[in-house]
Amino acid sequence: MIASIEPDELALVLADDTTPVQLIDVRERQEVEIVAIPQFWVLPLSESHDWVERVMMQFDRDCKTIVMCHHGIRSLHLCQWLQAQGFTDVYNVSGGIDAYAVRVDTSLPRY
């Protein structure tokens, strides 16, 4: 079972620079050009063949890992894959960046 994190909880995580966290945005680059949260690594799901090895080598499997997309569907797929690879603390952003833009930061553009 994949845990989810609500947009308001994500805002608290982003505001806390003392707790280590890995943030992954799996949206396509064109989507990220429209709106992005700077702290996130942009790793488009469609380009996974290019970054899968890097994730396995550079990311800590025991560190809190939060994955985001537009609405929370694509990110769920990566969360499932990460868990299958032994990541122990994985969260999917509920409603994705769209929900974050609605509930937390209304200055962010929506698409």
pLDDT, tens only, 21-64 = 999 999 999 999 999 999 999 999 999 999 999 999 999 999 99
- The single-letter code of the amino acid at 55 is V
The domains found in the chain, sorted by start residue, are 3-103 (3.40.250.10)
pLDDT score of 57: 94
Q: 70 vs 16, 59, 86, 103, CA distance in Å?
A: 23, 22, 25, 14
* Banded model confidence at residue 100, pLDDT cuts 50, 70, 90: very high
- pLDDT (0 to 100) of residue 29: 97
User: Which residues are part of the catalytic machinery?
Assistant: 69
Mean pLDDT of 98-111: 98
The beta strands (E) that lie in 6-104 are given as 22-25, 41-42, 65-68, 90-93
CA 66/CA 49 separation, integer angstroms = 20
